[in-house]
């Protein structure tokens, strides 16, 4: 008889139930592929009485998830609770301390505490697998850590949050504004009742921190990631982007400069429609890795949900059972240095600046003076329509300039009495081919 590997699953939300169903439905296939039966022996969740649509009568129930992690009958612990602190962290720490391999989809935990947990796993000689933590159904962790191991990477850029990508896609395709499309995304289940984790860029930033650690083999301090969400993107900005020949995407960007420092930024960005990542729409995720000698490699697919994330979690389980245990961040963790992160205002690039101003003589001259005084060269200026004495949009596209200079100019422009609302600044990104 095929020997069994006993699995303990902590967390029975959407992904946890997806994992249980996948292990049951593909039990024979998985046993053939890894040489062992993957048997769920125990589970833990907050509410024992809730009907989750799966039969749990044959498994042991733990009210204390940390006790499940330490149970001697459990061979592999799967942590799907989530969160950087609290029970999820405790489960992973106790499982590793007990010498048990761990599979997790907890992006927040890895982003904030991965620099401690990955070395702890390696010292114990057990796996800490986390493919499901980044971009769901895309095997991007394995791609960076193993498939591209022969390459020196200089950038990893991605659409890392399907909710934001859906909202921006719908805004462009329908002309509706952010609030209306967000409400639709919530009704469809693409956005949470409290969407801040997604639309404020935090989810994407967690994933970017993990990708940067993998791509550049360094310890990432999550506090070093610059984060800006999409709440302030308006239908007007989407429209002007189209006019100027761009599309707006929320990008996570990890890019190494000539000085060896790595920029870590999550923010809306304008990119040319001819770039492959610009065509990634709806709830899909995409990651573009660029390095030598391979050039650019793009992975595209569903980034969240029960099916894609459960697929990644079970793939990690199969790797663990097969004995596959590469270094978590691509190189032995105890020797990994802290990643040298570039200050956000060191960025050099072009910018889109939208202003709502009173249409009167002298306004453009005042704006131009602020740009001139901060040594910013203007590539183009667009004013839509005329409405003397009323509010009109003015859009400026700059040549490459430093973010430090750009922010200085924007602060001065915001003080002009003819400027009626906070300026909207969006970075224009040149993607690697």
**Active-site hit among 107, 142, 207, 275:** 207
Gyration radius of the chain's alpha carbons: 24
Residues paired with 341 in a beta bridge = 262
How far is the C-alpha of 236 from the C-alpha of 115, rounded, in Å? 42
The answer to whether the beta carbons of residues 249 and 187 sit under 8 Å apart is no
DSSP states of 47-101 as a string? -TT---SS--TTSEEES-HHHHHH-TT-SEEEE----SSTHHHHHHHHHHHTT--
207 noted as active-site residue? yes
Among residues 262, 297, 29, which one has the least CA distance to residue 146? 297
The answer to whether the beta carbons of residues 109 and 88 sit under 8 Å apart is yes
Residue 32: how many CB atoms within 10 A of its CB? Answer: 10
Quote the longest CA-to-CA distance of the chain.
86
Over 13-34, what HEC string results? CHHHHHHHHHHHHCHHHHHHHH
The three-state secondary structure class of 400 is coil
How far is the C-alpha of 381 from the C-alpha of 395, rounded, in Å? 6
Residue that is written with structure tokens 């000539």 in the block: 258
The answer to whether the beta carbons of residues 354 and 394 sit under 8 Å apart is yes
The answer to whether the beta carbons of residues 240 and 352 sit under 8 Å apart is yes
How far is the C-alpha of 170 from the C-alpha of 282, rounded, in Å? 8
How far is the C-alpha of 348 from the C-alpha of 402, rounded, in Å? 4
The answer to whether the beta carbons of residues 162 and 199 sit under 8 Å apart is no
Sequence-distant (≥ 6) Cβ neighbours of residue 100 within 8 angstroms: 69, 74, 75, 76, 77, 126
Distances (CA, A) of 6 to 78, 106, 297: 11, 21, 37
Which positions are catalytic?
207
């Amino acid at each position: 008889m095929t020997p069994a590997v006993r699995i303990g699953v902590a967390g029975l939300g959407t992904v946890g139930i997806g994992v249980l169903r996948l292990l049951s439905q593909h039990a024979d296939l998985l046993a053939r592929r890894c040489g062992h039966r993957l048997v769920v022996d125990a589970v833990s969740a907050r509410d024992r009485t809730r009907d989750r649509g799966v039969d749990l009568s044959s498994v042991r129930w733990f009210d204390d998830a940390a006790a499940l992690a330490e149970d001697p009958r459990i061979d592999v612990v799967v942590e799907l609770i989530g969160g950087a602190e609290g029970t999820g962290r405790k489960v992973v720490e106790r499982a590793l301390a007990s010498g048990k391999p761990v599979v997790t989809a907890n992006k927040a935990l890895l982003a904030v505490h991965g620099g401690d947990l990955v070395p702890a796993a390696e010292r114990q000689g057990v796996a800490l697998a986390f493919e499901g933590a980044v971009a769901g159904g895309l095997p991007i962790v394995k791609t960076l850590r193993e498939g591209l191991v022969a390459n020196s990477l200089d950038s990893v850029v991605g659409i890392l949050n399907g909710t934001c990508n859906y909202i921006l896609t719908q805004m462009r395709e329908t002309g509706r504004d952010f609030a209306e499309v967000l409400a639709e995304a919530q009704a469809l289940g693409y956005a949470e009742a409290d969407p801040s984790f997604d639309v404020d860029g935090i989810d994407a930033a967690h994933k970017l921190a993990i990708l940067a650690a993998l791509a550049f083999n360094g310890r990432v301090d999550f506090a070093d990631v610059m984060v800006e969400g999409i709440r302030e993107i308006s239908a007007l900005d989407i429209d002007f982007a189209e006019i100027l020949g761009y599309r707006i995407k929320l990008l996570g960007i990890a890019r190494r400069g000539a000085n060896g420092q790595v920029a870590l930024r999550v923010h809306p960005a304008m990119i040319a429609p001819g770039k492959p990542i610009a065509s990634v729409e709806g709830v899909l995720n995409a990651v573009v890795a660029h390095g030598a000698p391979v050039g650019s490699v793009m992975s595209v697919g569903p980034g969240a949900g029960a099916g894609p994330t459960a697929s990644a979690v079970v793939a990690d389980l199969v790797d663990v059972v097969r004995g596959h245990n590469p270094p978590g961040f691509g190189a032995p963790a105890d020797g990994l240095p802290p990643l040298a992160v570039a200050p956000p205002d060191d960025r050099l690039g072009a910018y889109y600046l939208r202003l709502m101003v009173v249409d009167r003589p002298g306004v453009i001259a005042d704006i131009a003076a602020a740009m001139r005084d901060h040594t910013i060269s203007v590539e183009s200026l667009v004013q839509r329509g005329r409405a003397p004495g009323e509010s009109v949009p003015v859009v400026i596209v700059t040549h490459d300039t430093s973010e430090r200079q750009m922010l200085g100019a924007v602060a001065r422009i915001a003080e002009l009495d003819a400027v009626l609302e906070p300026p909207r600044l969006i970075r224009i990104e040149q993607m690697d081919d």
